[in-house]
Chain A
């Protein structure tokens, strides 16, 4: 109930905000928390005179829910991850960028042009990409960590001291890699095995937390935890003796993308901002801040040299493949939702 009230009030506030933003030279951005340095926005405003308003969200699903609850038509751009681009595309929430509308489209790195979630980049451009795996505090556990057993069948030192991301997609995807089964399985034995695996492993987990995934490792509350690569390098910088693992079973790859939303109130400003983000110097500033990777050619000269050498950026020779989270159909998804509810009941 409290939530609904919050949503309604937020929707109301957004409508008011949107009216104010409809004036010329504005841009309304819907973005993740802690993912956009203010300097980059200031630079864009200085170059173009366009004022940027930014609201933030903490999960792809929260963003989707907010847009579905009526915020579409309020925002110009959002920054969904790979699988969420597919979902938003299939929900008809994205606008198509015509040929020639983006002057810097040629700057997109060739391997990131024909992506499965937006073939030919009809509605999106790359923002940052990276991996999701886990890391282990080496002061606590010195043994082998390049295996998903760390999370799902942990050694005694780590039992009860593991933080998981509070994200159904990431947790079930990694568990599927551990079992060697497809992400959207409809095989009942496989699904039962997945359910049992998570039920059994839960006893060894201390918490589910995404926002504080880095803090719990730095403070020592958790001795191991699922984490994004950039978060882990920040944890190391803050003094935690944590090592990021690239398990042999595989890990999760992701790419966040800037998408042009349907009914964008400031479509021209939005395209200008997308062009701005495709300039190597600008996107490199974001990469230096977030410690992930850019999907634009020619960024390397603007990047902090230390970044490329980070262990989180260099999988070892035996590392498994990085796999994107897949989008399941409705019937299959219902079973995965049930498994997640079983896990957290």
Chain B
């Protein structure tokens, strides 16, 4: 991560300087073919005319963006008002992804701290344990989650058996289930960068703080957190961004009653709507939002590095 490079200090002698072009070629090719080209294609598609039942007509059109931002009523001939439908869908996605990120942070930070403070020899084992559930396909993990949470599932059975509740709590098909599913899907992306940051943290700083009569809370707030901030931010981005575009958890755990951005876009390509330009436009808007977020992060990062000197 950027943080690693920053703390790594001054420029390193490049042993493989002469081969640099060739070493980078696979990465460049992959990025061009699998990232830049599809994104560019989507950008163009978002400005084309929709073909009935999927496909595009090669004529310039702003209809997709118009549909996103303006509401012309059920029949399309009312005077244009601001369209809240898609803003609502985006807002819901941001909210769900945000909740999942906070949940991941609250549980991931202590976990990462715990791992980083184990003896050096046993740390790889703990990291390894974190990754084990992720050897299983995401779809299967999400479905299993549903089986665990359902009304007649083990979780509710357990809570009823120990007498904590009388009737099952409905978790499946709620927003909370979606947040839980997202949290579970992306937790390691929170734990690993924070672990990397905490592992590099010089614990004698905490001792020094204690010697100077700082409380444990103050040490955490003023010493540890600022030092590992880049890891925390990286973790938050790695959880938040994929959560926003996710459609497995909303469909399977949320009951697909309400579109999230991911399912809205999927519907445009695979569903009845068959509106490719609109799907492309929604993807573009989503991507712009993520880009703004990342640029904001990059600027903050640059600023703090400057401040540190």
A interface with B by C-beta (< 8 Å): 1-5, 7-9, 59, 61-62, 64-65, 68-69, 87, 91, 166-169, 188, 191-192, 195, 202, 205-209, 212, 219-221, 330, 333-335, 337-342, 344-345
**Bound complex: CA A65 to CA B56 (Å):** 12
State the Cβ distance, B62 to closest chain A Cβ, in Å: 17
Partner of A64, one of B42, B54, B76, B259: B54
B140 sits at the interface (CB 8 A): no
- Closest B residue to A341 by CB, please name it: B85
A207 close to B273 (CB less than 8 A): no
A207 close to B262 (CB less than 8 A): no
**Bound complex: CA A122 to CA B85 (Å):** 43
Given contacts A168-B271, A205-B257, A208-B255, 17 further A-B contacts (CB under 8 A): A1-B39, A2-B245, A3-B266, A3-B270, A4-B38, A4-B283, A8-B38, A59-B270, A61-B272, A61-B274, A65-B274, A68-B55, A335-B76, A337-B273, A338-B74, A344-B256, A345-B258
Which residue of B258, B267, B269, B286 has the most chain A CB atoms within 10 A of its CB atom?
A: B269
- Closest A residue to B74 by CB, please name it: A338
Residues 239-283 of B, flagged 1 when their CB comes within 8 A of A and 0 if not, give 000000100000110011111001001110111111100000001
B172 sits at the interface (CB 8 A): yes
Q: Collect the chain B residues with CB atoms within 8 Å of residue A221's CB.
A: 150-152, 172
A64 close to B85 (CB less than 8 A): no
- Closest A residue to B245 by CB, please name it: A2
**Bound complex: CA A5 to CA B42 (Å):** 10
**Bound complex: CA A5 to CA B40 (Å):** 12
A1 close to B173 (CB less than 8 A): no
State the Cβ distance, A106 to closest chain B Cβ, in Å: 34
Contact A61 B38, CB 8 Å, known A335-B74, A339-B74: no
- Closest B residue to A207 by CB, please name it: B255
**Bound complex: CA A322 to CA B257 (Å):** 27
State the Cβ distance, A9 to closest chain B Cβ, in Å: 8
A68 close to B270 (CB less than 8 A): no
For the complex, count residues of B whose C-beta is within 8 A of A.
43
B173 close to A207 (CB less than 8 A): yes
Q: Collect the chain A residues with CB atoms within 8 Å of residue B252's CB.
A: 212
Q: Collect the chain B residues with CB atoms within 8 Å of residue A339's CB.
A: 74
B208 sits at the interface (CB 8 A): no
Contact A340 B273, CB 8 Å, known A1-B286, A207-B256: yes
B52 sits at the interface (CB 8 A): yes
Q: Collect the chain B residues with CB atoms within 8 Å of residue A207's CB.
A: 173, 255-257
State the Cβ distance, A89 to closest chain B Cβ, in Å: 12
A342 close to B85 (CB less than 8 A): yes
A-B contacts, 25 listed (Cβ < 8 Å):
A1-B38, A3-B266, A3-B270, A4-B41, A5-B34, A61-B272, A65-B54, A69-B54, A166-B256, A167-B272, A169-B272, A188-B75, A206-B173, A206-B255, A206-B257, A207-B255, A219-B152, A335-B74, A335-B76, A341-B85, A344-B257, A344-B267, A345-B86, A345-B88, A345-B259
**Bound complex: CA A191 to CA B75 (Å):** 9
B271 close to A61 (CB less than 8 A): yes
B44 sits at the interface (CB 8 A): no
**Bound complex: CA A209 to CA B257 (Å):** 9
Q: Collect the chain A residues with CB atoms within 8 Å of residue B148's CB.
A: none
- Closest B residue to A333 by CB, please name it: B52
B127 sits at the interface (CB 8 A): no
B270 close to A65 (CB less than 8 A): yes
Q: Collect the chain A residues with CB atoms within 8 Å of residue B39's CB.
A: 1
**Bound complex: CA A207 to CA B86 (Å):** 20
B272 close to A340 (CB less than 8 A): yes
A168 close to B272 (CB less than 8 A): yes
Partner of B52, one of A59, A195, A208, A330: A330
State the Cβ distance, A262 to closest chain B Cβ, in Å: 15
State the Cβ distance, A67 to closest chain B Cβ, in Å: 9
Q: Collect the chain B residues with CB atoms within 8 Å of residue A3's CB.
A: 265-266, 269-270
Contact A209 B256, CB 8 Å, known A1-B42, A345-B89: yes
Q: Collect the chain A residues with CB atoms within 8 Å of residue B258's CB.
A: 344-345
Question: Which 4 A-B pairs rank lowest in CB-CB distance, beginning with the nearest?
Answer: A207-B255, A168-B272, A208-B256, A62-B270
**Bound complex: CA A59 to CA B74 (Å):** 26
State the Cβ distance, A186 to closest chain B Cβ, in Å: 9
Q: Collect the chain B residues with CB atoms within 8 Å of residue A192's CB.
A: 74
B53 sits at the interface (CB 8 A): yes
State the Cβ distance, A36 to closest chain B Cβ, in Å: 21
**Bound complex: CA A341 to CA B55 (Å):** 19
Q: Collect the chain A residues with CB atoms within 8 Å of residue B29's CB.
A: none
**Bound complex: CA A1 to CA B289 (Å):** 13
State the Cβ distance, B219 to closest chain A Cβ, in Å: 41
B245 close to A1 (CB less than 8 A): yes
**Bound complex: CA A7 to CA B45 (Å):** 15
**Bound complex: CA A342 to CA B151 (Å):** 29
